[in-house]
Amino acid sequence: MAVGLISLPTLCSAILRVPYPETEQDRMEPETNQEPSLASQLGLERAETNRILGSLLLAVFTVMLGVGIIAPLLPGYARSLGANGIILGLIFSIFSLFRTFFTPVAGILSDRWGRKHLMGAGMFAYFILSLAYVQVETTPLLLTVRALHGLAAAFIIPVANAYVGDLAPPQKEGRYMGLFLASFLAGFALGPALGGVLYDSFGMASCFLTLGFLALLALSLILVFVPNLTTGRSDGGKEGQIGASLEILKSHVIITLLIFTFVSSIGRGSIMSFVPLLAQEKLDMSATFLGAILTTNLSLAAILLLPFGILADRTDRKHILLAGTILSGLMFALLPSARGVWGLLLVNVLLGIGTAMAFPAAQAIAVSLARGRGMGTVLSFLQSATGAGFATGPLVSGMLYKSYGIDSVFHVCSVFLLAASVYGAFFLNPPGRRIEGS
């Protein structure tokens, strides 16, 4: 772990300093929002910024590794406590509901009080609740722990996301967001494999204890290596600061981006729930092959998030965002027609590429607009829009599946993604280097 703490900031430094040629277009059309990053305003040296960034990324990876460990094992654990039907679904949805509802609260408070203390409180609560799972013996208690766990989660990843946004300088937002999203997704993608080994070797309690240990490790990283950055600005008191943060939400571009994110997330939200059903009903695929395909999707997206984040800094972010969303929409439409393992694998590879294209571009647009105006507020509402879409998607898909069959799920998901693309093409006009109409 000590090696990781030394090498990760060094790796961040190498990635963030990758040179690229300046074009004539760059010199003629600079970014609209040229306010320096919070790190620059506070005079942080490059080495200090990279140490903070590396610590944040490692903490995010660690937390998401724990989430990935228990996620695929919770259904069986819940059933062992007597959960079935709607209660089983509620055990999963209540976590997302609490996290989605409290994420904007965490973002607004982090703009007011700073990021470190809220992340620390969230991670400490995460650690305590991870241990509480071991003591749970009834479904009502499990529902309570899951709800509180979702509340604690709202104060970790979204606030860390805003902190990375604070560090991102103008015209490198995509690169920083690509790093953040890659650490997030890589941890979640690797977690299930480790969880399976722990469960088979030591039982379910070991998985919860490992979740708690990883949360404690992430808390240590935040407490030791991450300062509580603040500009010390005076904007009419803390109430005035909150008002200034909320004012950015009235921006036409932010409102459009939130609607776009919500609609497209409805389309994306069903892949983990209904691709397994598709594989079983139409392809008679084994769990091993299905797990390998879904892991390929997540892993490929994690690998490509940084390159596409860099690309979002060099080209039109709106075009990359729309291209990734259109590609995902087309692949959802093709999923019911996939033939065999290789057909499903190919479609999932292209879905991973589409995801990697869209996510860093959307976050880069949000960061460039939110800098100096409420980073935590904007990014937390963006994450809530994503969470709300991912929660709505499976509900819509479940009704479609019951009435019209598995094919209808992916066709309608495709419609949501393509509709979001059309909406974004006409109404999403963020200021930027090559976006017209800004």
What gap in Å lies between CA 107 and CA 155, rounded to an integer? 8
Where in the chain do CATH 1.20.1250.20 domains reside? 1-14+38-230, 238-432
Tell me if 172 sits within 8 A of 53, measured CB to CB: no
Q: What is the pTM of this model?
A: 0.83
Average pLDDT over residues 21-34: 41
Is residue 403 exposed (0-12), middle (13-18) or buried (19+ Cβ within 10 Å)? exposed
pLDDT above 90 as % of the chain: 45
Q: Is the pLDDT of residue 105 over 90?
A: yes
Classified by CATH at the fold level, domain 238-432 comes out as: Growth Hormone; Chain: A; (1.20.1250)
Q: Is the pLDDT of residue 397 over 90?
A: no
Please indicate whether residue 13 or residue 122 has the higher confidence score (pLDDT): 122
Mean pLDDT of the chain: 83
Please indicate whether residue 37 or residue 99 has the higher confidence score (pLDDT): 99
The CATH number for 1-14+38-230, chosen from 1.20.1250.20, 1.10.10.60, 3.40.50.10900, 1.10.287.610, is 1.20.1250.20
pLDDT tens digits along 323-367? 999 999 999 999 998 888 888 889 989 998 999 999 999 999 999
DSSP calls for 26-82 = HHHS--S--PPPHHHHTT--HHHHHHHHHHHHHHHHHHHHHHHHHGGGHHHHHHHTT
Tell me if 270 sits within 8 A of 413, measured CB to CB: yes
Length of the chain in residues, anyone?
Answer: 438
What gap in Å lies between CA 87 and CA 85, rounded to an integer? 6
Pick the closest to residue 207 from 134, 156, 126 (CA basis): 134
